[in-house]
Amino acid sequence: MQRILNVALVGYGFVGKVFHAPLIAHTPGLRLRSVVSSDAGKVHADHAEVRVIGDAEVAFADPDIDLVVIAAPNTAHAPLAEAALAQGKHVVVDKPFTVTLEEARQIVAHAARAQRIVSVFQNRRWDADFLTVQKLIVQNALGEVAEFHSHFDRYRPVVADRWRERDQPGSGVWYDLGPHLLDQALQLFGMPEAISADIALQRDGAQTADYFHVLLRYPTLRVVLHAGALVAAHGPRFAVHGTRGSYIKHGMDPQEEALRSGQVPGQAAWGKDPQPGTLRLGTQEEARAEVVESVRGDYLRYYALLRDAILQGNAPPVTTAQALQVMSMLEFGMRSSAERREIACTPID
């Protein structure tokens, strides 16, 4: 029989409750053993059998814990990861990995010394729409890609009273949604030559960035990454244009909404996108449109791959090299926006 890995989850706010806890609980081979939280009632309402511990150090000291998952505020990521590694645990950190590239490098070095896996939760690699775009590009359905537009827009005109929207390191939409869009672009196209970023505060009362518009420059390809909080009428989630045609996709992957509503991950219809995209091929005069059913999304895949990495020695679903690439791009983007110029994306050590 396959060994069961015991997991300690740090944090039971939105991300811990909606994403990590149900995905861990429904991944074969993983057991949610403990949750670090000050609200035992909230945890036990969803997971009655789980131990709730108020102190992360106590949870990390449990010899039965194999894996620590960190879903705490961003400024706590680095110290919590260091503390878990010091106790010999494998570690998953929700994005962003840390709030600085230097912190990320220190954690990667610590994990290497401890011979433990550290990985970043990039669940949107398993979005239905992204998997479909990835498949079309791999199959060369669009020819050589010339333009890639990725939007993650919301309509939230009122600034919420929460840590993600306060003026502190690692807050704001660039560190919230930027890691997802950057990671997807890097998965498809690798590191760009340069980045031009406009990161701004647009809403009344905004304390941290709620808008970004970023251009990644490749030799011929141009990649546009965009997110805003004042977009009531959403455009395409993806628009990809190549030498053979274009792919347009509206709507978001359904898994987050399913998790919010309490649906069980892995059910028969799990990850099925109800809004297919459109592939338009041929010349302007003779173009033909084809409906493209999305590849089924599967956030459980992240934890299944992580389980296999721990038990079988496979590569983790998000490697440390990939995590450091995203952190470097976040900092390049911040520098580009602050200096109002294009920044070369030099390789990281």
Question: Does 106 share its domain with 220?
Answer: no
Q: Are 260 and 140 in contact (CB under 8 A)?
A: no
Q: Is a pLDDT exceeding 90 seen at residue 2?
A: no
Question: Does 46 share its domain with 69?
Answer: yes
Over residues 215-242, the pLDDT tens digits come to 999 999 999 999 999 999 999 999 999 9
The closest alpha carbon to 127, from 213, 251, 20, 232, belongs to 251
pLDDT-derived band at 163 (thresholds 50, 70, 90) equals confident
pTM over 0.75: yes
Q: Are 208 and 166 in contact (CB under 8 A)?
A: yes
Q: Are 12 and 37 in contact (CB under 8 A)?
A: yes
Domain harbouring 9, CATH code: 3.40.50.720
Token digits for 156?
Answer: 């939230």
The closest alpha carbon to 59, from 109, 16, 103, 104, belongs to 16
Question: Does 151 share its domain with 16?
Answer: no
Question: Does 152 share its domain with 291?
Answer: yes
| pLDDT reported for residue 282 | 78
Rounded Cα distance, 186 and 322, in Å: 8
| Segments forming the whole domain that contains residue 279 | 125-300+330-344
Rounded Cα distance, 27 and 97, in Å: 22
Radius of gyration of the chain (CA): 20
Sheet strands side by side (includes 30-36): 51-53, 30-36, 5-10, 67-70, 90-94, 118-121
Q: What percent of the chain has pLDDT over 70?
A: 98
Token digits for 76?
Answer: 């706590």
Q: Are 248 and 239 in contact (CB under 8 A)?
A: yes
Last residue of a domain, one of 121, 146, 168: 121
Task: Provide the H-helix boundaries in the chain.
Answer: 14, 21-25, 40-46, 56-61, 77-86, 101-114, 128-138, 173-176, 178-189, 255-260, 300-312, 320-339
| pLDDT reported for residue 130 | 98
Q: Are 93 and 70 in contact (CB under 8 A)?
A: yes
Task: Provide the domain count of the chain.
Answer: 2
Over residues 76-125, the pLDDT tens digits come to 999 999 999 999 999 999 999 999 999 999 999 999 999 999 999 999 99
How many other C-beta atoms are found inside a 10 Å radius of the C-beta of residue 190? 9
Last residue of a domain, one of 121, 141, 163: 121
φ, ψ for residue 291 (rounded to 5)? -75, 130
Last residue of a domain, one of 98, 121, 144: 121
The closest alpha carbon to 214, from 155, 172, 154, 151, belongs to 151
Question: Does 252 share its domain with 180?
Answer: yes
Question: Does 89 share its domain with 143?
Answer: no
**Is the residue at 316 inside a domain?**
no
Over residues 240-285, the pLDDT tens digits come to 999 999 999 999 999 999 999 999 998 889 999 999 999 999 766 6
Domain harbouring 143, CATH code: 3.30.360.10
Question: Does 145 share its domain with 213?
Answer: yes
Mean pLDDT in the chain? 96
- Estimate to the nearest angstrom the gap between the alpha carbon of 87 and the chain centroid: 26
Question: Does 54 share its domain with 202?
Answer: no
**Is the residue at 78 inside a domain?**
yes
Over residues 174-203, the pLDDT tens digits come to 999 999 999 999 999 999 999 999 999 999
- Return the amino acid letter for 320: T
Asked which of 6-15, 17-26, 136-145, 262-271 is least confident by mean pLDDT, the reply is 262-271
Question: Does 10 share its domain with 139?
Answer: no
Question: Does 170 share its domain with 294?
Answer: yes
Question: Does 100 share its domain with 161?
Answer: no
